[in-house]
Amino acid sequence: MGANCQSCGMPLSKDSLGGGSEADGSRSTTYCSLCYEKGEFLHPGFTVEEMQALCVTELKKKGMPAIMAWLFTRGIPKLGRWAT
């Protein structure tokens, strides 16, 4: 199993850009391009609950049933960005 974004949980293998970008322009192996660009989070002030809500919305837009989208986001609080 491949690496997942440590902000939203998306498999990095599913990221069309291959991951987010670091400040030096290199590809991030930790965060996806939907969460991280040029070494910074695209939603820096988000709470984990806001990230979960955004992910549910986006998954539903792609045709995933709401209950499945909700289930997919339950692990987000355990990801690196949110674990404290």
* pLDDT tens per residue across span 72-83: 999 999 999 998
Query: Does 5 fall in a domain?
Result: no
Query: Does 67 fall in a domain?
Result: yes
Query: Does 2 fall in a domain?
Result: no
Give residue-wise pLDDT tens across range 8-65: 999 999 999 999 999 999 999 999 999 999 999 999 999 999 999 999 999 999 999 9
Query: Does 44 fall in a domain?
Result: yes
How many domains, in total, are found in the chain?
A: 1
Query: Does 27 fall in a domain?
Result: yes
Domain residue limits at 74: 12-78
Task: Tell me if 52 sits within 8 A of 76, measured CB to CB.
Answer: yes
Rg of the chain on CA atoms, in Å: 12
Query: Does 1 fall in a domain?
Result: no
Q: What are the residue ranges of helices labelled H in the chain?
A: 48-61, 66-72
Query: Does 32 fall in a domain?
Result: yes
DSSP 40: E
Could you give the count of Cα atoms lying within 13 Å of 48 in the half-sphere of its Cβ? 14
Query: Does 25 fall in a domain?
Result: yes
Of the pLDDT bands very low, low, confident and very high (cuts 50, 70, 90), residue 2 is low
